[in-house]
């Protein structure tokens, strides 16, 4: 059932980028749930799939690299070829900007060197990659919080403090309350806590059990308070809080109730490709057919084309690497 959820979240992100919304930016709410799912999955991998040993962190990071980068580089290459051949958006592709797209993580900090490039194809080859950059940083720090209760409490508290400072506008709400890793890492930790408290409650510590409901209660309290103070539309605070209010109970329910539906794995595999390729799909169809992206048929065409791009990449790259990625979970088979 998590495959269906991931595919739905990727579709909601796509629709928000096509300017098809329901009064709020549902793409932001979906990204918050993606963050929680990432923490959930990483905890599953490190506690139940990967064999313990001195190289477990190295094996885990390599496995995540092979999960994220091949499909990303595939979409990146297609986008680069399209922009060079067509000149769409009058791309300015300097070496430093190409390097930023290639390394991904610098994209999470775009506002410190050019805050005008968020939706500009002159720079962004894969626009959703800024959130992918936050996820990559989480992969580096999540093993620390999973294996150390003290660090988990420290980093969760520090990140939550940064987030609340953004909520109150002591820090820039849009950046520190949604985009930058320091202000959202606690959301990944919520996902980790949900995994432990729902799948193996007897092994969960007190922090695992109380942190998700604590964050939920803060969201419940802050939403009406901020609405009363007239600051609810500051940055993307409303959408982030809704992500917490919806994501926590949904992930908790799905984790406690292992619903098995057909096509779940396929949709889960395709969701990542749809997430990172829908801008390329939109640009190609706008260039070729002058498509109205926000219309029903335009959105349907973009969605289907993104699914095709994802399907090809998933079955050529993902499936070919899957067996090798699975060997990394075993200590004795790792040759680093």
Question: Which tens digits make up the pLDDT trace of 299-309?
Answer: 999 999 999 99
Residues 6+ apart with CB under 8 A from 292: 298
Whether pLDDT at 290 is above 80: yes
pLDDT (average), residues 248-272: 91
- Vertex 122, ends 117 and 128: CA angle to 5°? 60
**Structure confidence at residue 334 (pLDDT):** 45
**Structure confidence at residue 233 (pLDDT):** 53
Write down the mean pLDDT value for the chain.
Answer: 89
Lowest mean pLDDT among 72-76, 207-211, 213-217, 317-321: 317-321
Q: Which helix (H) or strand (E) holds 136?
A: helix 129-147
pLDDT (average), residues 111-115: 69
Chain-centroid distance, C-alpha 175:
16
In the chain, the percentage of residues whose pLDDT exceeds 90 is: 68
Q: How far apart are CA 262 and CA 150, in angstroms?
A: 41
Whether pLDDT at 173 is above 80: yes
Quote the pTM value.
0.93
**Structure confidence at residue 336 (pLDDT):** 46
Q: How far apart are CA 116 and CA 101, in angstroms?
A: 16
Question: Would you kindly state where each structural domain of the chain is located, as residue ranges?
Answer: 2-333
**Structure confidence at residue 119 (pLDDT):** 47
pLDDT (average), residues 178-204: 95
Q: How far apart are CA 154 and CA 59, in angstroms?
A: 25
**Structure confidence at residue 36 (pLDDT):** 97
**Structure confidence at residue 123 (pLDDT):** 62
pLDDT per position as a tens digit, 28-56: 999 999 999 999 999 999 999 999 989 99
The band of 121, judged by pLDDT with boundaries at 50, 70 and 90, is very low
3-state secondary structure at position 54 = coil
**Structure confidence at residue 114 (pLDDT):** 60
- Vertex 224, ends 222 and 225: CA angle to 5°? 60
In whole angstroms, how large is the CA radius of gyration of the chain? 20
**Structure confidence at residue 80 (pLDDT):** 92
3-state secondary structure at position 201 = coil
Residues 6+ apart with CB under 8 A from 113: none
* Residue in 148, 204, 191, 210 with CA at minimum distance from that of residue 43: 191
Residues 6+ apart with CB under 8 A from 256: 198
The band of 22, judged by pLDDT with boundaries at 50, 70 and 90, is confident
Q: How far apart are CA 308 and CA 227, in angstroms?
A: 42
Residues 6+ apart with CB under 8 A from 98: 80
- Which residue's entry shows tokens 């193996």? 200
Lowest mean pLDDT among 46-50, 80-84, 161-165, 224-228: 224-228
pLDDT (average), residues 128-137: 95
pLDDT per position as a tens digit, 231-256: 555 567 889 999 999 999 999 999 99
- Which residue's entry shows tokens 């930023």? 100
Handedness of CA 318, 323, 324, 326 (dihedral sign): positive
């Amino acid at each position: 059932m998590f495959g269906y959820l991931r595919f739905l979240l990727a579709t909601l992100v796509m629709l928000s980028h096509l300017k098809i919304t329901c009064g709020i930016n549902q793409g932001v709410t979906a990204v918050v749930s993606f963050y929680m799912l990432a923490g959930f999955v990483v905890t599953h991998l490190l506690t139940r799939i990967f064999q313990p040993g001195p190289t477990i962190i190295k094996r885990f990071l390599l496995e995540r690299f092979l999960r994220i980068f091949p499909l990303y580089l595939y979409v990146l290459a297609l986008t680069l070829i399209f922009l060079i051949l067509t000149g769409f958006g009058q791309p300015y592709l300097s070496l430093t900007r190409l390097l930023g797209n290639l390394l991904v993580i610098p994209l999470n900090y775009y506002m410190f060197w050019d805050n005008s490039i968020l939706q500009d194809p002159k720079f962004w080859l894969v626009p959703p990659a800024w959130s992918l950059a936050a996820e990559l940083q989480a992969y580096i720090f999540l093993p620390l919080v999973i294996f150390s209760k003290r660090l988990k409490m420290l980093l969760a508290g520090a990140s939550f403090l940064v987030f609340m400072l953004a909520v109150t506008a002591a820090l820039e709400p849009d950046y520190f309350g949604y985009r930058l890793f320091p202000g959202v890492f606690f959301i990944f930790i919520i996902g980790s806590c949900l995994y432990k408290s729902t799948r193996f409650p007897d092994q969960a510590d007190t922090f695992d059990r109380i942190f998700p409901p604590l964050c939920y209660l803060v969201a419940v309290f802050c939403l009406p308070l901020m609405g009363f103070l007239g600051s609810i539309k500051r940055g993307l605070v409303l959408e982030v809080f809704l992500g917490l209010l919806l994501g926590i109970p949904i992930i908790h329910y799905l984790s406690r109730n292992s619903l098995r539906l057909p096509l779940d794995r396929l949709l889960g595999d395709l969701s990542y490709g749809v997430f990172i390729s829908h801008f390329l799909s939109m640009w190609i169809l706008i260039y070729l057919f002058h498509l109205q992206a926000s219309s029903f048929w335009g959105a349907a065409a973009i969605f289907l084309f993104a699914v095709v791009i994802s399907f090809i990449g998933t079955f050529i790259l993902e499936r070919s690497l899957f067996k090798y990625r699975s060997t990394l979970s075993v200590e004795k088979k790792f040759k680093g």
